[in-house]
Structure 1
């Protein structure tokens, strides 16, 4: 769907590469500009997760892109990049605010030679303001945004979510902004600057609880650690005899039937939030006596919203997950067989596949230069002089 759209990517970590991968999955030609030593994610991976020396962190966010290694401090390298950008539809960068301007690749400068350029900046906090120079990293933003303060029971410290969901949501918002700007350019012929940042992404994830707060509701974390600060009981995770079961948005009258406990019938629906700790305690006592399978079958029989709490073994084997073709497998020339998450959306009943494997550093430098019209002898000179790396 994005065939013919050329994107130059100055991105690293997760937010930026994931945003450009979304667009590359859709057919855009994404050229990832890396320093001669390689992007950060080539040499880092969460729990030191490397497959035959290749970073899983790099493999999960850089498919369907081309790699071009350029020395940003070399004037010949900068000249190559200006030529590349002048031919591009989109530039995406995830440096700290001001870095691209100091390098000579700020939006105002580039729009003079490419007025149709969509220029997307992905940052931690935004391009201005008192926090613009702070390090923008997922768990820091979860804390600053209030997200961690609403997670976990009241008896333990605030708890970050166990995934980089802010990074990923920031990536999706960045891709959304780019697509909107491209649509606008198709009507006006003019490019624009798009900005997405992790702080806004974290707050956007909290659209519901923050709206409650802004309108006078002050939720508190549950003492039992089961319910959300913002929902009446029952809502949350309960231990069974051999695992855990989540119950969501059902009446205490329905609970009285499925649990065969008359006590629930006497609760006024208007008191289900105020009485959530007592309700939680009674549910917990009853569910602990039988297995997750028993309760799953019984709750299904009574059509009560529920789900078992799966670990990743369960998730990978889940029949709906498998049906949705959630995972993408490929053979990497260095890492060998690799599995990652596929593009999350279907188009015409199909998910986009993989056209290009996550590239080696500078794998496409010569190819991109040739497409820009550089003759072979000039490409050789640039490689020999260190302006670019192949």
Structure 2
């Protein structure tokens, strides 16, 4: 009987094993589109030059950039075309496209050009490569090269988004740390030129009117609270530096000379409880004064059960003074007692008697041996001098505390 030839199956197995071994060694078998790959390698330089020329022709922002940044963009375009060539050579191998393409440029480039501009740059480069397919591809390989370019364009788009997302996360974490340092410096009374420089790096452009708003921070993610404050500030056209420090939500707001209006615009993200707005100051360095007044007001606000929400720190002067706030005591003496003292003893005496007589015009007139109209006139003068009306219950309380503190100050001073 004739023997079967064992050579043929052995040769087939050998060829298959060779292909498998080549695949196991990184998939570096002989490329089925060698001619197209060779043409692509030879055309890489001209394609990059055409892409850069197209950018210069169609992208105004590219023409306006400094030469250094333009050179980096040119390197990115060249790296993108080189990465496509390597990807076309080994499409089955995993590729770190973001490293291959964007690793040639410094990290600062993500600050120099926006995501939209990067997308335009990538689109222009892909369009140049797509328009050259007929010239670069070997006969019959046009559809293969076009399909590969479409897949690569998708990958490069995802890589672009990843690079900018990572840069944004890193920048956001750094900005949050800087902002926390500035807010803490203002609240602790340690604001200096360094804090001003950090605030400038965060986009703070030194508005003329600044105030600090304090309240209780809500439970949950503090980042969501901070973002809610930012949205409210954008809607109110205010600049803000904000942060959650312990249980307090602190907002340094600039751009308005009305602190009560500022507090009302930003009150939404605060938790239940008092919200206190400090007085307006001229700049960030002086914001410590506003922050200290707001903090003292927040501490003393429990003494005024019917306090509005939000409330001005200056409206809490009597409670702050009783709670041993030296700034409030000094303010009451200097802004109420001293002006009345300088205006003449008649105003001080009339106000004191009027308050002691339970705010009765007739009672005060009898005690002073004057006509009630005289008492009425003098009380109007008190309002003109101090800004506080003795006929208002809340103002009368503030005036009484100011009189007490003024007399104490006079009693403590040397004869």
Which of the five TM-score ranges fits, normalised by the shorter chain?
under 0.3
Higher strand share: 1
Higher helix share: 2
Normalised by the size of structure 2, how large is the TM-score? Answer: 0.23
Normalised by the size of structure 1, how large is the TM-score? Answer: 0.24
Could you say which structure has the larger radius of gyration?
A: 2
Which structure exhibits the higher relative contact order, with contacts defined as CA atoms closer than 8 Å and separated by 6 or more residues?
A: 1
